[in-house]
Amino acid sequence: MKPFQQTSKLPLSFFSVAGEKTHDELISRARTAGQNFQGEKVTVQYSALVSEVMENCSVLIAKGDPFISMTDGAGVLSEFSAERRKKLELSDEESDAYKTRLRKGQRACAFQGHEDFGHTCPDFERILSVGISGIVKEAESLLKEQKSVEKKEFYQSVIRVWKSARSLALRMAQAGEKENDENLSVAAENLRFLADNPPKTFMQALQLIALYYELQQNIEDTPVRSLGKLDRLLYPYYCHDMEKSNKKEEDIEEEFSYFLRHIDSYKACANIPFALCETRKALPCENALTLILLRVTLRCRFSNIKIHLNYRADISDEVMLAAGDAIRSGSNSLVFINSDITRRALEKIGIQREDAEDFNIVGCYEPCSREEIPCSCAGRLNFLKAVELAVNGGKDLLTGDSYATDTPDCEAITSFDELMDIVRMQLRAFAEGCIESAKEREKVQIYLHASPLLSATYRTSFYGGKDVYADYGAKYNNTSVCGMGIASAVDSLYAIKELIFNRKRMSLSDFVDILRKNWEGEEALRIYIKNRLPKYGNNVRKVDEIAENLVEYTANLINGKPNARGGVFRFALFSVDTRFVLGERTAASADGRLCGEPLSKNAGASSCADKSGLAAHMLSVLSYDHTCFPDGMVLDATLHSSTVSGEDGLKALNTAVITYLKKGGFALHINVLDAELLRKAQKNPELYSNLQVRLCGWNVLFSSLSRRDQDEFIAQAEAAQ
């Protein structure tokens, strides 16, 4: 295999090796199958289509790449599901009054609930230990024992799909063999071995992970949102190569660099994450691979890969300092996850300790315990919209609609405590709206999606003969609701408390009129509120108490409530990019925000409002219990590059991270920014094409951002300075 440095500067150029059918033909076939929906469960038809795509799709390969895993099969099964979904949709006229009310709330972005098939972490340990043919053999053995028609169909579906996966692996091997390329020959040899055997070597394990990712993510259309704990998964193969093949660490680094480049080429939505460091207390936090994989990833700095670094009290200084040094050097691909807090949050919703301890983060910040389907983005709750309705008699300021709880007009509210009671009433209605909307979608889930690939990796599902989606076959079939815009809501409520009820500067009804008019003619008041009143994120207790009240109250409304799939609901506190959509449907707010502007980001302060430093920001976010978030949360912090320079700066950064996590912080991400550098990159993007920032929950190239997003990062960097 050629050295990575000889090929690393050349982008991979993929070309197609044609299959039996074109992508358009496969799309047409899927659409027709979806249109012929007669109310039958999805399982058999879905697996047949997945198998058909595997048998007929084109294979994509690139010269110089020692991995082959890509196809043109993406999007085919989504067309099938889309056609079925159309058949199941009901119009507002066909709905009862309650459902109409729910739909109004969803359209207003006050609360939302829908199906989510997009956040999974397959059991890669099972895939690697058994292999493709091993799963087929197990399914064939279990099929012989079955008397139930449904279970027979399940195992037949698994056998069909996984046999097709074997055939695809062999077609990929053949495609690589036909090219006169040293690296592609390595991939071809490994694929031929993997068609009939579990992996033995480090490269074979990486190849099987890459292949499975393509099968589930793109062909089956069940997005893989974590590759798992790669240091744990790959350690046996690392040991094999070091002992049996006399490899050196440099060889392992070389092979992993190639793997990172290959999966980076997928350009998957919101990146491809993997975890490092063990979460199970009975096992060592790290192994010999942990630091190797961390350093290689941070050195390569591929923009489409991110790391979840699982923090434990016994994590080594070497790992933490390596992570901190990379962050301050501009590698924003890493988020710290608190293993203990995550485990405790999952246990609170009924997940057994051994399963809760062995979690992975699926996507940005969402925990997925062993054997769990978390549906981690199935619901959204708009904290700021609850404040909007509370001050306007339960009516939307933009549309005049009522879709939650009718409450007293603002003239009748005589104290801030009364207002908080009304906000909580709206939040209760919003939580119920999220739950009921999601449950409505869960009832039709069995007609929309199946996952014979993922189901075969979950032991409870596989040995129980049930699909994880179409049969609710996972051990934990849970559903998640994300609370969004907490800082916007808290700052708005504090502004009302201070100006209306404490200083009595004007009546609440007059203030609501100002908001209705989007601050027209009141710019001086708006700027005063934005710049002079205390804000969440500055360790001001009287402000943070409001956050604590809203967050813990809402978490209790959602956590543990039964869903429609035999599981429970779980709460989160993050917004990712949905804060833009929700902001567009939310009226001007009392914190000085204009109508249509984004809500605050994740669990942190509103943009540029954290003016008292990182420690104060952390303490505000720590004002409430982070075990309330079995679906996750994160503090996004921004530091100026000058504050973390030199040895002292690195130690200070490391101390801040560890202190936050030891005090009970769930997750932490840090952007180290320089406003002057960002302005240069904005003016001359071609000179800074590799400059990365972390947007919401994933890495992006600064040059790819909209002017609005770039300006927000520049403003945050200026505020940090």
pLDDT digits (tens, 9 = 90+) for 222-257: 999 999 999 999 999 999 999 999 899 999 999 999
Q: Look up residue 568 and give its DSSP letter.
A: B
**Six-digit token pair at 160?**
């069909």
pLDDT for 9: 62
Q: What is the pLDDT of residue 142?
A: 98
Question: Which sequence spans correspond to the domains of the chain?
Answer: 369-611
Instruction: Using pLDDT thresholds of 50, 70 and 90, give the confidence band for residue 597.
Output: very high
Ramachandran bin of 492, using left for φ above 0, alpha for ψ from -120 to 50, beta for the remaining angles: alpha
b/e sequence 217-238, b meaning 16+ C-beta within 10 Å: bbbbbbbbbbbbbbbbbbbbbb
Q: Span 35-41, mean pLDDT?
A: 89
Instruction: Express each pLDDT in 618-662 by its tens digit.
Output: 999 999 999 999 999 999 988 888 888 999 999 999 999 999 999
Residue 97 clears pLDDT 80, i.e. is over it: no
> H or E stretch including 354?
helix 353-357
DSSP-based three-state secondary structure for 205: helix
pLDDT in tens, 399-452: 999 999 989 999 999 999 999 999 999 999 999 999 999 999 998 899 999 999
Residue 509 vs residues 403, 415, 544, 656: alpha-carbon distances, Å: 21, 13, 25, 44
Over residues 154-174, mean pLDDT: 98
Four-residue CA torsion sign, 472, 475, 479, 480: negative
Q: What does the pLDDT average to over 344-353? A: 98
pLDDT tens digits, one per residue of 473-483: 999 999 999 99
Provide the pLDDT for residue 91: 45
Question: Residue 705 pLDDT more than 90?
Answer: no
- 597-604: average pLDDT: 95
Entry pTM: 0.94
pLDDT of residue 118: 87
Q: Provide long-range contacts, Cβ within 8 A and 24+ apart, for 173-177.
A: 173/68, 175/17, 175/59, 175/61, 175/68, 176/61, 176/68
pLDDT at 92: 44
Residue 92 DSSP class: G
Candidates 303, 224, 174; CA nearest to 695 is 303
Dump pLDDT digits (tens) for 388-397. Answer: 999 999 999 9
What whole-number percentage of the chain has pLDDT above 90? 81
Structure confidence at residue 7 (pLDDT):
65
Phi-psi region of 705 (alpha: psi -120 to 50; beta: other; left: phi over 0): beta
Alpha-carbon Rg of the chain, whole angstroms?
A: 26
199 closest CA partner among 238, 164, 141: 238
Q: Considering only 106-120, 128-142, 265-279, 683-697, which range has the smallest mean pLDDT?
A: 683-697
Q: Which two tokens stand for residue 114?
A: 């829908």
What are the φ and ψ backbone dihedral angles of 523, each rounded to 5 degrees? -65, -40
| Residue 413 CA, distance from chain mean position | 40
Mean per-residue pLDDT of the chain: 93
Contact 136, 166 (CB under 8 A): yes
| Phi and psi torsions of 284, nearest 5° | -60, 145
φ/ψ region of 131 (left if φ > 0, alpha if ψ in -120 to 50, else beta) reads left
User: Which of helix, strand or coil describes residue 336?
Assistant: strand
pLDDT of 700 higher than 80: no
Q: Is the pLDDT of residue 375 over 60?
A: yes
pLDDT the model gives residue 217:
97
Alpha helices in 413-485 (DSSP H): 416-442, 452-457, 459-464
Burial class from Cβ neighbours inside 10 Å (0-12, 13-18, 19+) for residue 58 reads buried
**Which CA distances in Å does 417 have to 307, 420, 491, 501?**
43, 5, 16, 10
